[in-house]
Amino acid sequence: MTRRGRSHLPSFVTFKTGADLLVAEGISSSITADGVRYIARQSRKDWPFGEGKPYPYEKAGNARAMATAPFLAYFRKHPPKGRGPNKAPRASGGES
pLDDT digits (tens, 9 = 90+) for 13-53: 999 999 999 999 999 999 999 999 999 999 778 899 999 99
pLDDT confidence tier of residue 7, bands split at 50, 70 and 90: low
**Average pLDDT of every residue of the chain:** 86
pLDDT at 5 over 60: no
Which pTM was predicted? 0.78
| Signed CA dihedral, 62, 68, 73, 75: sign only | positive
Measure the CA–CA gap between 14 and 2, rounded to whole angstroms: 19
The candidate with the shortest Cα–Cα distance to 75, out of 41, 44, 48, 45, is 48
